[in-house]
């Protein structure tokens, strides 16, 4: 069950957000957009909880952690997609609470399953506070500086539970899990919050019974979602979440957020990069037969066929194949379907732009953003965010890319 309090509170003036495969920013009040480009008070609320056990629910340890500085780093290419760093005083000047966790496994900042929930926003002209839930973080490390009289805390995505709790042995699918959706729920259940499967995914698709899962749960979830096809992550509610792949982005894609320069804009600085790395023109998809006596698994090769493409395999770019293997593919048709689905992603002539902007607490990974400056327009998915938690923390950095992330080659 989801704990009451900070986890379930809806921001002032905001509607309830329905989970979506494509993000549409965190909901906000109408006046919020006007305030982020003007002077305003930043409000950050961090609460500490003992995370759920096998038979125990969430338990509140501290309703308020006195953060003096901190950042959240989001990265859509990582298994642990969010990381929190905060600094707090050893002794709270308001109530003399001791925030040094030494010797106390039940301390709110200890590393024995304690989690932090972060909500950040601003004060509205009417005095109300509009806060946005930025998720749950498993405390992984703390350090005390007695000279500075501070405690530094690092906390990570609760997907760390999936990384930590590996399978005891390599094994096949669970006997009770006959579908991708059921297998996802069982594989991700170690987070101990109810996994969510987006109904737009193929709920009835069957898992190949000859599949052998490795001990690494995170890799198994990657393989499962790639073959589904879909993607997985831990959402702001702390749940394992299976969703459809992010759609391709073109210059005409409607953005969720506009990042513009100028007097009323939010863009402070902008950069651009281009790379040959991970730019392929062929996909070789290899499956697995259910017949153990068969010596040759199904496989196909699919290449770019567009005449004049700058990365055509017969042109000056050369032949650069991307290999993809999955036990979940059992026929040549399934291999071809997987290759066709993967080729547009790995063969997209991509572009990445890190942009420094004024903090906007609505933006989340997967949002479609359009940047408009004197350097021209560019539209891409938000793939990384560095968000300061305090007013003196500087600008927010948002990285846009027009190529969806793809799993590492196997």
Per-residue pLDDT at 403: 67
Per-residue pLDDT at 324: 93
Per-residue pLDDT at 75: 96
Q: Work out the average pLDDT over 37-47.
A: 91
DSSP state string for 189-205: GGG-S--EE-TTS-TTP
Per-residue pLDDT at 183: 95
Per-residue pLDDT at 406: 59
Select, from the ranges 188-197, 374-383, 400-409, the one with the highest average predicted confidence (pLDDT). 188-197
Quick one: pLDDT band at residue 410, thresholds 50, 70, 90?
Answer: low
Backbone angles phi, psi at 147, to 5 degrees: -70, -45
Quick one: pLDDT band at residue 250, thresholds 50, 70, 90?
Answer: confident
Examine the pLDDT at 15 and tell me if it is beyond 70: no
CA distance 385 to 330: 38
Calculate the average pLDDT of the chain. Answer: 88
Total residues found in the chain within this entry:
410
Kindly state the tokens that stand for 260: 């513009």
pLDDT in tens, 166-188: 999 888 888 777 899 999 999 99
CB atoms closer than 10 angstroms to residue 97: 16
Looking up tokens 């308001």, which residue turns up? 94
**84 touches 72 (CB < 8 A):** yes
Looking up tokens 């040959």, which residue turns up? 276
Q: What DSSP state is assigned to residue 392?
A: G
Per-residue pLDDT at 21: 37
The fraction of the chain above a pLDDT of 70, given in percent, is 90
Per-residue pLDDT at 407: 56
The region of weakest confidence among 9-13, 67-71, 113-117, 270-274 is 9-13
Per-residue pLDDT at 344: 81
CA distance 137 to 157: 5
Looking up tokens 């549409």, which residue turns up? 24
The region of weakest confidence among 157-171, 212-226, 324-338, 345-359 is 345-359
Quick one: pLDDT band at residue 24, thresholds 50, 70, 90?
Answer: low
Kindly calculate the radius of gyration of the chain based on its CA atoms and give it in whole angstroms.
23
pLDDT in tens, 280-295: 999 999 998 765 545 6
Q: Diameter of the chain by CA atoms? A: 73
Judged by DSSP in three states, 220 sits in helix
Q: How far is CA 252 from the centre of its chain?
A: 25
Examine the pLDDT at 2 and tell me if it is beyond 80: no
Looking up tokens 């899990």, which residue turns up? 177
Quick one: pLDDT band at residue 405, thresholds 50, 70, 90?
Answer: low
Per-residue pLDDT at 263: 65
Find residue 213's DSSP bridge partners. 171
Strand duo 368-373 + 257-260: pairing: parallel
The region of weakest confidence among 153-157, 188-192, 211-215 is 211-215
CA distance 184 to 205: 12
Q: Work out the average pLDDT over 81-100.
A: 95
Q: Tell me if the bond preceding 229 is cis, omega within 30° of 0.
A: yes
Examine the pLDDT at 30 and tell me if it is beyond 90: no
**169 touches 139 (CB < 8 A):** no
Strands, E assignment, 124-249: 129-145, 150-157, 196-197, 231-234, 240-243
Strand duo 352-357 + 267-270: pairing: antiparallel
Examine the pLDDT at 351 and tell me if it is beyond 60: yes
Per-residue pLDDT at 20: 39
The region of weakest confidence among 189-198, 232-241, 261-270, 279-288 is 261-270
Looking up tokens 């996802």, which residue turns up? 184
Q: How far is CA 137 from the centre of its chain?
A: 13
Quick one: pLDDT band at residue 213, thresholds 50, 70, 90?
Answer: very high
Q: Work out the average pLDDT over 81-97.
A: 94
């Amino acid at each position: 069950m989801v704990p009451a309090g900070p986890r379930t509170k809806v921001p002032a003036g905001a509607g309830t957000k329905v989970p979506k495969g494509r993000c549409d920013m965190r909901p906000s009040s109408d006046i919020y957009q006007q305030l982020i480009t003007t002077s305003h008070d930043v409000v950050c609320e961090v609460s500490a909880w003992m995370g759920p056990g096998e038979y125990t629910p969430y338990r509140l340890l501290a309703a308020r952690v006195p953060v003096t500085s901190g950042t959240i780093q989001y990265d859509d290419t990582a298994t642990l997609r969010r990381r929190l760093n905060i600094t707090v005083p050893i002794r709270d000047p308001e109530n003399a609470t001791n925030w040094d966790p030494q010797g106390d496994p039940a301390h709110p900042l200890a590393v024995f399953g304690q989690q932090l929930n972060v909500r950040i926003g601003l004060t509205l002209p009417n005095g109300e506070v509009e806060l946005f839930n930025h998720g749950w973080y498993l405390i992984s490390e703390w350090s005390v500086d007695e000279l500075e009289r501070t405690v530094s805390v690092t906390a990570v995505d609760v997907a760390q539970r999936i990384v930590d709790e590996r399978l005891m042995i390599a094994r096949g699918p669970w006997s009770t899990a006959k579908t991708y959706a059921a297998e996802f729920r069982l594989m991700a259940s170690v987070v101990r919050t109810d996994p969510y499967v987006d109904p737009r995914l193929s709920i009835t698709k069957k898992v190949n019974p000859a599949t052998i899962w490795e001990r690494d749960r995170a890799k198994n979830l990657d393989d499962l979602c790639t073959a589904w096809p879909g993607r997985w992550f831990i959402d702001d509610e702390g749940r394992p979440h299976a969703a459809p792949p992010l759609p391709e982005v073109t210059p005409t894609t409607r953005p969720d957020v506009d990042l513009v320069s100028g007097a009323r804009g939010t863009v402070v600085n902008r950069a651009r990069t281009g790379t040959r790395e991970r730019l392929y023109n062929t996909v070789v998809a290899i499956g697995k037969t259910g017949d153990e006596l068969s010596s040759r698994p199904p496989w196909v090769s699919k290449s770019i066929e567009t005449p004049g493409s700058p990365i055509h395999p017969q042109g000056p770019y050369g032949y650069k194949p991307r290999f993809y293997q999955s036990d979940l593919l059992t026929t040549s048709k399934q291999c071809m379907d997987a290759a066709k689905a993967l080729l547009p992603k790995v063969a997209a002539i991509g572009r990445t732009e890190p942009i420094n902007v004024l903090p906007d607490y609505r933006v989340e990974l997967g949002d479609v953003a359009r940047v408009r400056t004197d350097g021209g327009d560019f539209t891409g998915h938000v793939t990384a965010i560095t968000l300061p938690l305090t007013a003196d923390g500087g600008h927010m950095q948002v990285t846009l890319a027009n190529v969806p992330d793809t799993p590492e080659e196997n």
